[in-house]
Amino acid sequence: MNRDVSKRLAIVKASLNRSDAAKHGAAGPMRIVTEKCLVEGREMRKILSINGVLERDKLPAEYLAREPYVYMLSPLSPFRANGRTLVVPFGGAAGIYISPFSYCHVGQTMHEDAFQDMLSYIREAGERLRQVRLEGRKQWQGTETFEI
């Protein structure tokens, strides 16, 4: 097969995969961009952007039924800070900085240990969402015969 044709096929396949993911509510990878900074000698992270996280009403009910889960606040939410706000229902190892929900928003500065704990939870939540979606697809396959 011609190399140009192979490239075009790969582009079409990638495009179809993206449109299929969009149909199922997939936002692609979650991305949190941070800036490392020192505040009074303490290692901190400033949240610069949060992308690829769906709002609560776009997530499966099974995913939201138990932790770990994360979602973006609606632009209409009274709890939304300036910019994008991520809800993380996580108390952290010491439970000292988040209770019962954490709101991680653009512009926020947080201690490095707290950020790493939260990031670990967010990764678990992302993996759990993938599993919930896979299970949903597996259950809705096959054939059925109806006799009336």
Residue 9 resides in a domain: no
Burial class (CB within 10 angstroms; exposed 0-12, middle 13-18, buried 19+) of 36 = exposed
Q: What number is the average pLDDT over the span 96-123? A: 80
Q: What number is the average pLDDT over the span 67-90? A: 78
| Amino acid 8: pLDDT | 52
Residue 48 resides in a domain: yes
Residue 18 resides in a domain: no
Q: What is the tally of helices (H) and strands (E) in the chain?
A: 3, 6
The total number of structural domains that make up the chain: 1
What is the pLDDT of the chain when averaged over all its residues? 77
Q: Is the pLDDT of residue 9 over 60?
A: no
Q: What number is the average pLDDT over the span 89-104? A: 56
Q: How far is CA 97 from CA 88, 102, 104, 114, 125, in A?
A: 12, 8, 11, 8, 19
Q: Is the pLDDT of residue 99 over 80?
A: no
pLDDT tens digits along 12-61: 445 444 434 444 445 578 899 999 999 999 999 999 999 999 998 999 99
Residue-range definition of the domain harbouring residue 34: 27-138
Residue 21 resides in a domain: no
Token pair of 79 as six digits: 């709890």
Residue 15 resides in a domain: no
Residue 108 resides in a domain: yes
d(CA 27, CA 53) in angstroms, rounded, equals 6
| Amino acid 98: pLDDT | 44
| Amino acid 83: pLDDT | 61
